[in-house]
Amino acid sequence: MKNIFKIFLLGVIASFIISCQEDDDKMILNNTSGSTLSANKTSVVLDETIADQAALTFTYKNPTFSPAVQFTNMVEFAVAGTNFKPSATREVPMDQSTFSLTHLQLNNILADLNVTPNSSKSIEVRLKSSVNTVTSFYSKALTVNMTGYTPNPDLIYPKINVPGGYAGAAGYADWTPSNAPNLFSPEKNSQYRGFIYVTNPNSEYKFTINQDWAGDKGDDGTLTGKLVESGEQNIKAALAGTYYIKVNWTANTYSSVLANFGVIGDATPTGWNSDTDFVYNPTTKTFVINSIALNNTGVFKFRANDDWAMKFQPANGDQTLVSGTGVQSYMSSEGTVTGDPAYKVATAGNYKIELDLHNSAYYKLTVTKL
């Protein structure tokens, strides 16, 4: 028994010695000087008309460590008083002492922080220097009052272009990627969708990116919805009308279906029995019903092809429209509508209805009393 106890005691002592040796081997990192961050303004009003210009310029000094270690820098933003929870971050160049962020970049940061556009908000900013995934050092936070804007969806969502022989009659230019209808990616990934309007049957088109012909794609020749970059063929719109197109740029697939829209509902003269169709206006690039009588006791919505598979509606709940004020509309088949809501007007009368479908990230509906 004594021998067993001696063996156990020796094991404990040996473990203690090894543990002490491991502690001695651990590196102690000293933050010998802290980082600093300053900005050239204490207040900024962001402006979409100069979205690509610098709005704020920051000057920073890196922290130093002993022993010297590698680290990465991010600039971190948060609403003042939230202790940086939640926060938004952007990369900082390691080989410079200054960097600038544009009006668009800062506006996107405010959107990430759920800051209401067109109102001033105190935003705290600090430099975050990360040695590894768990160890970070921070500069003293500075405060900048920022006023954002409601962003133009044409500028913030990725897009591809649909040049073709149909485009000139639709208000664009034939076979010109820089002046063609676009398909947008509301999810900001490789999947794009949207509408084109075709005047003549058998009109042809292709898909491009970056408003240029480099890397353009067309049908692989099988007419089965497959895209290729080399040896591609033009895609044909067999009939005149409005087409709803979906493209997966990475998977090289596409689909195209006719989608001619009209308004229907018990607020319209023909009730739920028939649609009043839209007419495409190439000057405004919108779909228009120039005059229709709407009552204020019923509701209406918009559907394609006299069917219910594709509908434009409010996101959720019936919505009373204000004359002349555009609102975002949602298409049910894209999974953005809850329930089966409809639109209303507060005052009976003749109205102009306009659907702007040029950007699938923001379909816009405007109803104007005549």
Domain ranges of the chain: 30-151, 154-258, 261-369
Amino acid identity, residue 113? L
Q: What distance in Å separates the CA atoms of residue 8 and residue 6, rounded to the nearest whole number? A: 5
Supply the pLDDT for residue 235: 98
Supply the pLDDT for residue 68: 73
Domains 30-151 and 261-369 share a fold: yes
Supply the pLDDT for residue 244: 98
Secondary-structure class of domain 261-369 per CATH: mainly beta
Supply the pLDDT for residue 127: 94
Chain-centroid distance, C-alpha 86:
20
61's tokens: 């000094």
Q: Report the chain (370 residues): mean pLDDT per 10 consecutive residues.
A: 46 45 58 87 95 95 82 93 95 90 94 93 94 85 96 89 98 98 96 98 97 97 96 96 98 98 98 97 98 98 97 97 97 97 98 98 98
Say if residue 169 is exposed, middle or buried (CB neighbours under 10 Å; 0-12, 13-18, 19+). middle
Supply the pLDDT for residue 131: 84
Supply the pLDDT for residue 156: 82
Q: What is the architecture of the domain spanning 30-151?
A: Sandwich (2.60)
Q: What is the architecture of the domain spanning 154-258?
A: Sandwich (2.60)
